Amino acid sequence: MSLLNVKNLSLSIGSFQILHDVSIDVLPGEIVAITGESGSGKSLTALAVMGLLPYGSVMKGSIWLEEKNILTTSEHDLCSMRGRAMGMVFQEPMTALNPVKTIGNQVAETIIIHERVTKFEANKRAADMLQRVGLTVDPSRYPHELSGGQRQRVVIAMAIALRPKLLIADEPTTALDVTTQARILELLKDLVADFDMGLLIITHDLAVVAEIADKIVVMQNGCIVEAAKTQELLHNIRHPYTKALFNASTHRVILPKYIPSSPLLSVESVARTYNLPRKSVFGSRPKFQALDGVSFHISQGERVGLVGESGCGKSTLTRAILGLEEVQRGQIMLDGQSVFSQKKPNLEVRRKMQVVFQDPYGSFNPRHRVDRLIAEPLHVLENTPIGKDRDLAISKALEDVGLSAVDSKKYIHEFSGGQRQRIAIARALIIEPELIIFDEAVSALDVSVRAQVLDLIADLCRKRPLAYLFISHDLSVVRTVTDRVMVMQLGQIIEQGQTEQVFSNPQHTYTQSLIAAAPTLPEVTYAIETV
Amino acid sequence: MIRYTLGRLLSLIISLVIASLVIFSVIEVIPGDPASFMLGINAREDTLAALRSEMGLDQPLVVRYFDWVIGLLQGDFGNSWTYKTPVSELISDRIWVSLPLAIYALILSTLIAFPAGILAASRRGGASDVTIMGATQMGVAIPNFWFAMIMVLIFAIHLRWFSAGGFPGWSNPLQGIKSLTLPAISLALPQAAILARIMRSSLLDMLSEDFIRTARAKGLTRGQALWRHAVRNALIPVLTIIGLQFSFLLAGGIIIEQIFFLPGLGRLIFQAISARDLIVVESVVMLLVFTVIIVNFAVDIAYAAVDPRLRIKA
Amino acid sequence: MKPGLIIGSFLSIIFIGLAFFSFIWIPYDIEALEISNKLKKPNFNHWLGTDHFGRDIFSMIMMGARTSIAVALLAVGIGVVIGVPLGLFSAARRGSFIDEVIMRGNDLIFAFPSLVIAILITAVFGPSAVNAIVAIGIFNIPVFARLTRAAALPLWERDFILSARVCGKSEARISIEHILPNITNLMIVQGTIQFSLGILAEASLSYIGLGAQPPTASWGRMLADAQTLVSIAPHVALVPGLAILLMVLGLNLMGDGLRDLFDPRIKGDRT
């Protein structure tokens, strides 16, 4: 008998129908993954099971957890089920914990709420549970003293403290680094086997799905388009959407061949330290070495990747190259000129370098029209084009990225995430820079849109020689769009070389562990399409 | 924690130094010759000279400032020109009206605001929320001195529950408290309205935080999540407002004391202003500012007790 | 549109309208005393009755609205004109020594009870409307400076500001082109709130005789005059108080309504 049985669930909030006839089964000890792109309704399905939907949600169908139908259970009874019969883990470990309570207290709370136990006993059981999830820190610590991975372990400990039969995990590893992700996934698998729990995991990452799930459910626009056992599905993908998803996830672009040429950017033994707050009253301030003797070159027309986990110094390096932050030692030169001249960012250099950021929503001033947004870099030029020339430059930039000149009078909120990243690229291209920094530029995009933007980048490289530094935590993306790759750890570049070579034959142990930790999609086969 | 406290203490001292400099210059430097300012244009030359030497005006500015500050530190505020008595005596008589009034009002305001704010937030959009919010809108808009007048009209003149003014002293504490009740209510209600609104919105902010959803997933009811997780976090901004309100209540007392004929610092400062007794004005203002700065310091320390993140960071 | 915004705007417009209309016409000259006609209840000739000098209360309310609005508006003006640039500057140089000095300075102003400072100013410079404006205005400076800085700080970390910096734009230009337009709504809302607080503060100051001096009419002094008459002729005390209450209430409702209007983001709880 199934543990969780979602039957023909439909959900609407206001006049929006969000879920259509969703049916999912989870058996004890089974891992079921719901996957799909943003807006597919996968997270709301999870919240519906917990009975934690926003106000104004109207549901039809049924959600059976063993003998209880969640839809007809009173809020009072739901409260006694949450945490005891079913637990939930959320995406963002940084904000999921109460900052003013100790982690031990927060885990113990699950026990105190549901069982008549003494505080002492609850705390003891909480400490045991924290140990069970592999956390070695003291339960009297506060959340802000822990790393993201550690906090996620606390959230998991809270969710499983009473050994619920069902655990729901909503993108539990999306906010984590690959090596941490691997360990958290390992932990979840282990807990499922140990407690004979059902696990309903929601994730957009197909590689994670393929690695962990016994059963896969693919959702699109609130409907289940395909659901099957993992091996069955991987070997016989039926639905065109699933096929498109897998295609996009393994999408490889074709870059024009890079012909070695003269150097463009040179970074010479750059170092940057930050002072941390004092730990004691009179002690000296501890220092954090964000960049420690970083040196590398990028040649004209060369596509270079930079990978590393959070805190490795990627962002500091990016900011230093962009001239947003001064370095304490070493030198950064673009085309023979220093990025900083006399403590001030060098305008000469700014003409040759542009940037595309990660967040398609935060990258634009919401109060300006697209033409003004795209034209912003023009003012660094010696002869800033005005009037007709300016309009011409704007429409050319828009057309280069696959948009049209009529888009220039719209506001940014009228565009989708993928279109916004195209506009960001148009803004970078308008002054025809020699070097573009892509700072996690495709990380926030859904796989299908990401594939399109990667194609666009490859396209642009074919039109004219373009050098870029592609910074990303996603190894598979870096592998396809770069000629050369650098791996960063603890403020140092520990390995660099031809992309294919580094990926197929990593030298440094850290690179090896990174590549090993990154989940990969197995070979898939498609069913013969029926029209 | 020690480091945080030391940092706050340093900023407390700097604030006090700057505050004393500002007050000193407004009172003793800007008017030019404070003595002739105090005595007016018809002053006789010998009284002027007497006052000048009394105020130490023949000394250089720097010396006068330090004399004043050192005096303050020893509790010596100088002598009142009009009362011919030490200012410290004048103040110590009256502070036992003003300070209890401010504290009484603060307690009332908090006692009203906390339950109201929490109730409104937990019943968001419901009838009690709408009622409480409507009431606080009125409360925020009412001038407290007008409210005091209405209270006198109703409770003292018509119902005769309280006397319309005056203060019998603390020999009978109950009588003392009773005579401060109307003034404290008039002071407290508008402040309670502000505090309740802030409590509510701060709580609502907290309720949309991720950790509340986590708490709900553990099986806490809405009410439990609110009590166990939102209230303490919501206190952080509310504490700031309580600190600011204390200064408002202390100063607001100046007007309310006028209405209820209470012999507090407010009456003292008004009499001093009309008598142009700058020494008294200077001392009372410095005392009020000092109290407010100390209270804000206490609030800063209370922060650290509520928020563990502050205990290590400077 | 929320009913609060409509009621609030309606009340605010009525009082601002009355203030402007008083330049053209008022029912009675408020400087002409007519003792024989004193303390009349509201009637057909004197809509809101007369005071202890026989002056028409409605006319005085109109003239008082003028004083209140002028003082409060100028005080908000002081706060905006000085506070907003300070806040922008502070945010642009966040973490620097000068930022620290500006913010500590703001804290210090907050440490002075506003009424006490007003008293201090009038003790030295004498009571007048101008001194009241200055005294209220000083306290608007840190309000706007803090709010501006607090709103600008997260903007400075946003990618669109970073990309403007990559384009070589100066801090001043970014503050004006990018930061200011994104905090204008917030400033309008806060301006409305400070305006209403200014009305209250002006009333308090003129009530204790430290605001506008006779013969300029002001609501606060009308209340002070009425205080001893409250048991004989309650309307003399009720009317100016209600005027203050309604004007402040209107501005607050309008401010809250504007905030909701500008910020369509639903601050909902999830459950």
Q: pLDDT, tens digit, for every residue of A111-135?
A: 999 999 999 999 999 999 999 999 9
* Average of per-residue pLDDT values in chain A: 90
Encoding tokens for residue C18?
A: 């009355």
- Residue numbers in B near C265 (CB within 8 A): none
Cβ atoms within 10 Å of A132's Cβ, excluding its own:
18
- Residue numbers in A near B210 (CB within 8 A): 90, 92, 95-96
Q: Does residue B139 lie within any of the structural domains?
A: yes
Encoding tokens for residue C182?
A: 């994104």
Å between C168 CA and nearest CA of chain A: 6
* Average of per-residue pLDDT values in chain C: 85
- B46 and B111 assigned to the same domain: no
pLDDT value, residue A119:
93
Q: Does residue B81 lie within any of the structural domains?
A: no
pLDDT value, residue C271:
33
Residue C88 confidence (pLDDT) above 90 = yes
Q: What is the mean pLDDT of residues C9-15?
A: 92
Q: Is B144 helix (H, G, I), strand (E, B) or coil?
A: helix
> Which of A109, A142, A144 minimises the CB distance to B218?
A109
**CB of C243 closer than 8 Å to CB of C219:** yes
Please state the domain extents for chain A.
90-164, 264-275+283-352+435-443+465-531
pLDDT value, residue C176:
92
C181 closest CA partner among C88, C258, C49: C88
Who contacts B8 (Cβ-Cβ below 8 Å, separation ≥6)? B297, B300, B301
Q: Residue with structure tokens 């609060």?
A: C4
- B140 and B281 assigned to the same domain: yes
Q: What is the mean pLDDT of residues C249-254?
A: 92
Best residue in A352, A365, A372 to probe C by mutation, most C CBs within 10 Å?
Answer: A365
Query: How does pLDDT run across B35-57, given as a tens digit for each residue?
Result: 777 777 677 778 878 777 777 77
- Of the pLDDT bands very low, low, confident and very high (cuts 50, 70, 90), residue A529 is low
Distance CA B124, CA A215 (A): 41
pLDDT value, residue A14:
83
Distance CA B215, CA A96 (A): 9
Distance CA B108, CA A218 (A): 58
Residue A200 confidence (pLDDT) above 90 = yes
Cβ atoms within 10 Å of C24's Cβ, excluding its own:
6
Q: Which domain holds residue B110?
A: 91-311
Residue C48 confidence (pLDDT) above 80 = no
Query: How does pLDDT run across A310-320, given as a tens digit for each residue?
Result: 888 888 999 89
Who contacts A530 (Cβ-Cβ below 8 Å, separation ≥6)? none
- Of the pLDDT bands very low, low, confident and very high (cuts 50, 70, 90), residue A6 is very high
A109 closest CA partner among A170, A161, A156, A169: A161
Cβ atoms within 10 Å of A252's Cβ, excluding its own:
12
Q: What is the mean pLDDT of residues B78-105?
A: 87
- B269 and B164 assigned to the same domain: yes
pTM (two decimals): 0.83
Q: Residue with structure tokens 């009473």?
A: A162
pLDDT value, residue B10:
87
Interface residue B138 vs chain C (CB under 8 A): yes
CATH for C67-235, among 2.60.120.620, 1.10.3720.10, 1.10.490.10, 3.40.50.1220? 1.10.3720.10
Q: Is A327 helix (H, G, I), strand (E, B) or coil?
A: coil
Distance CA C258, CA C263 (A): 8
A308 closest CA partner among A191, A469, A468, A466: A469
Q: Give the alpha-carbon dihedral of C190, C196, C198, C199, to 10 degrees.
A: 170
Chains near B, with 3+ CB pairs < 8 A? A, C
pLDDT value, residue A202:
94
Q: Residue with structure tokens 């100390």?
A: B294
- For residue B125, give the chain A residue with the closest CA: A55
Who contacts A342 (Cβ-Cβ below 8 Å, separation ≥6)? none
**CB of A441 closer than 8 Å to CB of A408:** no
Q: Does residue B2 lie within any of the structural domains?
A: no
pLDDT value, residue A531:
44
pLDDT value, residue B73:
87
- B247 and B211 assigned to the same domain: yes
- Residue numbers in C near A379 (CB within 8 A): 167-169
Query: How does pLDDT run across A248-280, given as a tens digit for each residue?
Result: 988 888 888 888 888 999 999 999 998 876 666
Interface residue C241 vs chain B (CB under 8 A): yes
Q: Does residue B249 lie within any of the structural domains?
A: yes
A529 closest CA partner among A166, A207, A170, A240: A240
Query: How does pLDDT run across B241-267, given as a tens digit for each residue?
Result: 888 788 788 878 888 888 888 998 888
- For residue A140, give the chain B residue with the closest CA: B308
**CB of A304 closer than 8 Å to CB of A298:** yes
Residue B24 confidence (pLDDT) above 70 = yes
pLDDT value, residue A495:
94
Distance CA C127, CA A323 (A): 55
Residue A283 confidence (pLDDT) above 70 = no
Query: How does pLDDT run across C95-143, given as a tens digit for each residue?
Result: 888 998 898 888 888 777 777 777 778 777 878 888 889 989 998 999 9
Q: Does residue B84 lie within any of the structural domains?
A: no
Q: What is the mean pLDDT of residues A503-520?
A: 92
Q: Residue with structure tokens 């009253």?
A: A281
**Which range (B109-123, B144-158, C34-48) has the least confidence?**
C34-48
Interface residue C114 vs chain B (CB under 8 A): yes
Considering only the C-alpha atoms of chain B, give the largest distance between any 2 of them, rounded to a whole number of Å: 83
> Do C163 and A55 lie within an 8 Å CB cutoff?
no
- Residue numbers in B near C246 (CB within 8 A): 141
pLDDT value, residue B312:
54
Q: Does residue B161 lie within any of the structural domains?
A: yes
Residue C87 confidence (pLDDT) above 90 = yes
- For residue A280, give the chain B residue with the closest CA: B3
> Do C182 and A353 lie within an 8 Å CB cutoff?
no
* Average of per-residue pLDDT values in chain B: 85
- For residue B220, give the chain A residue with the closest CA: A79
A428 closest CA partner among A359, A350, A480, A341: A350
> Which of A52, A158, A278 minimises the CB distance to B3?
A278
Query: How does pLDDT run across A30-67, given as a tens digit for each residue?
Result: 999 999 988 889 999 999 999 988 888 899 999 999 88
> How many helices and strands, by DSSP H and E, does chain C display?
11, 0
Please state the domain extents for chain C.
67-235
- B19 and B124 assigned to the same domain: no
Q: Does residue B252 lie within any of the structural domains?
A: yes
Encoding tokens for residue A20?
A: 């259509």
Best residue in B123, B209, B218 to probe A by mutation, most A CBs within 10 Å?
Answer: B218
pLDDT value, residue B314:
34
- For residue A357, give the chain C residue with the closest CA: C159
Distance CA A431, CA A83 (A): 56
Residue C265 confidence (pLDDT) above 50 = no
Q: What is the mean pLDDT of residues A465-491?
A: 92
Chains near C, with 3+ CB pairs < 8 A? A, B
pLDDT value, residue A528:
67
- Residue numbers in A near C179 (CB within 8 A): none
Q: Structurally, how many domains does chain B consist of?
A: 2
Distance CA B212, CA C269 (A): 9
Residue B313 confidence (pLDDT) above 60 = no
Distance, CA of B15 to chain centre:
17
Interface residue C197 vs chain B (CB under 8 A): no
pLDDT value, residue C263:
66
- B183 and B294 assigned to the same domain: yes
Distance CA A392, CA A415 (A): 21
Q: Residue with structure tokens 């396809």?
A: A480
Distance, CA of B307 to chain centre:
25
As a CATH number, domain A264-275+283-352+435-443+465-531 is 3.40.50.300
Distance CA A428, CA A421 (A): 11
Residue C268 confidence (pLDDT) above 50 = no
CA atoms within 13 A on the CB side of A264: 22
Q: Does residue B85 lie within any of the structural domains?
A: no
